[in-house]
Structure 1
Amino acid sequence: MDTPLSHDLLRLKQAEALIESEDKKSISNSDRPNARQRLKALLDPDSAQELFRFTRNHPEKPSFKDGIVCASGEIEGRPVLAWASEFDSRGGSIGALQTRQICELYRLARQSGLPVIALVESGGARVTDGVLIMEGYAEVLKEAVYLSGVVPQITCVLGHCIGAPAFVATLTDFIIMDQNSTLCVAGAGVNLAATGENLSEKELGGPDVHTRHSGAVHFVEPDEAAAIARVRKLFGYLPQTNAEPPPQLSFQDSCERTDPQLNQLLPENPESPFEIRQVLHSVADQGSFMEVQPDFAPNLVTGFMRLAGQTVGVIANQSLVLAGALDTRALRKLSRFLNFLSAYNYALISFVDVPGLMPNASAHKEGILSYGSQALMAIGHLKGLKIGVVVRRCFGGAYFMLNPRIGGGDLVYAWPGARIGIMSDQAMASFAGHNPQLKQRLDHLHAQGSRSDDPFIPAAGGFVDDIIEPAQTRPILIRSLQRFSNKRQLDIPPKWLPNIPL
Structure 2
Amino acid sequence: MESLHRKAEERAQATQHKKGKKTARERIHALVDEGSFQEIQRFAGGNIDEDYLGSGVITGFAEISGRAVAIIAQDFSVQGGTLGEVEGSKMLHLMDQAIDLRIPIISLLDSGGARIQEGVAALAQYGQIFKKTSEASGLIPQISIIVGPCAGGAVYGPALTDFVIMTKDSSFMFVTGPEVVKAVTGEQVTSADLGGAVLHSATTGVAHYLAEDEEDALDYARSLLSYLPSSAEEDAPTFAYQTNPEDDSRAAQVADLVPVNSKQPYDMVEVIEHLVDHGEFLQIQELFAANVITGFAAFQGRSVGIVANQSLVDAGTLDVNASEKASRFVQFCNAFNIPVVTLVDVPGYRPGTEQERAGIIRRGAKMITAYATATVPLVTIIVRKAYGGAYIVMGSKAMGADFNFAWPGAEIAVMGSEGAVNIVYRKELKQLQADGDDVTAARQRLEEIYSTQAVNPNLSLQIGALDGLISPEQTRPTIISALKLTQAKRRPQKIYRHSTNPPL
Same-fold status (TM-score > 0.5) = yes
Name the counterpart of 2:176: 186
When the two chains are superposed, the root-mean-square deviation of aligned CA atoms in Å is 2.2
Give how far 1:265 is off.
Answer: 2.7
Deviation sequence 1:23-52 (CA, Å, 0-9, x none): 133324541321111110111001000111
Please say if residues 120 and 158 of structure 1, whose CA atoms lie closer than 8 Å, have aligned partners that are also in contact.
Answer: yes
**Against the structure 1 CA distance between its residues 122 and 36, is the aligned structure 2 distance closer, same or farther, given a 3 Å change threshold?**
same
Name the counterpart of 1:406: 398
* In structure 1, C-alpha distance between the alignment counterparts of 2:16 and 2:296, rounded to whole Å: 37
Deviation sequence 1:329-379 (CA, Å, 0-9, x none): 101111111111111111111100001112211101000000111111111
* In structure 1, C-alpha distance between the alignment counterparts of 2:490 and 2:305, rounded to whole Å: 15
Name the counterpart of 2:5: 19
Give secondary structure in 2 for the equivalent of 1:69: strand
**Against the structure 1 CA distance between its residues 170 and 253, is the aligned structure 2 distance closer, same or farther, given a 3 Å change threshold?**
farther
Please say if residues 246 and 310 of structure 1, whose CA atoms lie closer than 8 Å, have aligned partners that are also in contact.
Answer: yes
* In structure 1, C-alpha distance between the alignment counterparts of 2:394 and 2:106, rounded to whole Å: 34
Name the counterpart of 2:467: 465
1:419 to 411, 416, 424: 411
Tell me if 1:35 matches 2:35. no
Please say if residues 56 and 63 of structure 1, whose CA atoms lie closer than 8 Å, have aligned partners that are also in contact.
Answer: no
Please say if residues 385 and 488 of structure 1, whose CA atoms lie closer than 8 Å, have aligned partners that are also in contact.
Answer: no
Give secondary structure in 1 for the equivalent of 2:341: strand
AA matched with 1:413: F
AA matched with 1:356: G
AA matched with 1:24: E
Name the counterpart of 2:502: 500
Name the counterpart of 1:337: 329
Name the counterpart of 1:265: 257
Name the counterpart of 1:480: 482
Give how far 1:443 is off.
Answer: 8.8
Give how far 1:132 is off.
Answer: 1.2
AA matched with 1:16: E
1:238 to 204, 228, 238: 228
Structure 1 range deviating more: 264-273 or 32-41: 264-273
Name the counterpart of 2:157: 168
Give secondary structure in 1 for the equivalent of 2:204: coil
* In structure 1, C-alpha distance between the alignment counterparts of 2:494 and 2:420, rounded to whole Å: 35
Name the counterpart of 2:350: 358
Name the counterpart of 2:319: 327
Give secondary structure in 2 for the equivalent of 1:216: coil
Give how far 1:57 is off.
Answer: 5.1
Give how far 1:403 is off.
Answer: 2.4
**Alignment gaps of 5+ in structure 1:** 1-14, 437-441
AA matched with 1:231: A
Deviation sequence 1:219-268 (CA, Å, 0-9, x none): 01111111111111111111100111111011245388253322233223
Trace 1:94-493 onto structure 2 (pairs within 5 A).
94-180=83-169, 181-254=171-244, 257-258=248-249, 259-434=251-426, 450-490=452-492, 493=495
AA matched with 2:117: T
Please say if residues 445 and 452 of structure 1, whose CA atoms lie closer than 8 Å, have aligned partners that are also in contact.
Answer: no
Give secondary structure in 2 for the equivalent of 1:156: strand
AA matched with 2:419: A
* In structure 2, C-alpha distance between the alignment counterparts of 1:373 and 1:481, rounded to whole Å: 27
Give how far 1:20 is off.
Answer: 2.5
AA matched with 1:23: E
AA matched with 1:470: P
Deviation sequence 1:248-291 (CA, Å, 0-9, x none): 01124538825332223322321111111121001100132111
Give how far 1:383 is off.
Answer: 1.0
* In structure 2, C-alpha distance between the alignment counterparts of 1:500 and 1:264, rounded to whole Å: 40
**Against the structure 1 CA distance between its residues 449 and 101, is the aligned structure 2 distance closer, same or farther, given a 3 Å change threshold?**
closer
* In structure 2, C-alpha distance between the alignment counterparts of 1:412 and 1:269, rounded to whole Å: 22
* In structure 2, C-alpha distance between the alignment counterparts of 1:414 and 1:275, rounded to whole Å: 19
Please say if residues 22 and 65 of structure 1, whose CA atoms lie closer than 8 Å, have aligned partners that are also in contact.
Answer: no
Give secondary structure in 1 for the equivalent of 2:279: coil
Please say if residues 83 and 118 of structure 1, whose CA atoms lie closer than 8 Å, have aligned partners that are also in contact.
Answer: yes
Give secondary structure in 2 for the equivalent of 1:298: coil
Give secondary structure in 2 for the equivalent of 1:279: helix
* In structure 2, C-alpha distance between the alignment counterparts of 1:96 and 1:179, rounded to whole Å: 31
Deviation sequence 1:455-495 (CA, Å, 0-9, x none): 12211222110100101111111111011122233586332
* In structure 1, C-alpha distance between the alignment counterparts of 2:134 and 2:354, rounded to whole Å: 33
* In structure 1, C-alpha distance between the alignment counterparts of 2:135 and 2:323, rounded to whole Å: 25
Please say if residues 37 and 62 of structure 2, whose CA atoms lie closer than 8 Å, have aligned partners that are also in contact.
Answer: yes
* In structure 1, C-alpha distance between the alignment counterparts of 2:388 and 2:450, rounded to whole Å: 24
Deviation sequence 1:105-148 (CA, Å, 0-9, x none): 11011111010001111110001101211221111111011111
* In structure 2, C-alpha distance between the alignment counterparts of 1:30 and 1:217, rounded to whole Å: 23
Please say if residues 428 and 452 of structure 1, whose CA atoms lie closer than 8 Å, have aligned partners that are also in contact.
Answer: no
Give secondary structure in 2 for the equivalent of 1:50: strand
**Against the structure 1 CA distance between its residues 492 and 362, is the aligned structure 2 distance closer, same or farther, given a 3 Å change threshold?**
farther
Give secondary structure in 2 for the equivalent of 1:189: helix
* In structure 1, C-alpha distance between the alignment counterparts of 2:447 and 2:487, rounded to whole Å: 39
**Against the structure 1 CA distance between its residues 491 and 269, is the aligned structure 2 distance closer, same or farther, given a 3 Å change threshold?**
farther
* In structure 2, C-alpha distance between the alignment counterparts of 1:87 and 1:387, rounded to whole Å: 46
Structure 1 range deviating more: 25-34 or 285-294: 25-34
* In structure 2, C-alpha distance between the alignment counterparts of 1:268 and 1:405, rounded to whole Å: 25
Give secondary structure in 2 for the equivalent of 1:493: coil
**Against the structure 1 CA distance between its residues 26 and 58, is the aligned structure 2 distance closer, same or farther, given a 3 Å change threshold?**
closer
Trace 1:83-98 onto structure 2 (pairs within 5 A).
83-98=72-87
Give secondary structure in 1 for the equivalent of 2:147: strand
Please say if residues 144 and 161 of structure 2, whose CA atoms lie closer than 8 Å, have aligned partners that are also in contact.
Answer: yes
AA matched with 1:288: E
* In structure 2, C-alpha distance between the alignment counterparts of 1:198 and 1:96, rounded to whole Å: 34
Please say if residues 96 and 132 of structure 1, whose CA atoms lie closer than 8 Å, have aligned partners that are also in contact.
Answer: yes
AA matched with 1:106: M
Deviation sequence 1:383-408 (CA, Å, 0-9, x none): 10111100011111112234233321
**Alignment gaps of 5+ in structure 2:** 429-443
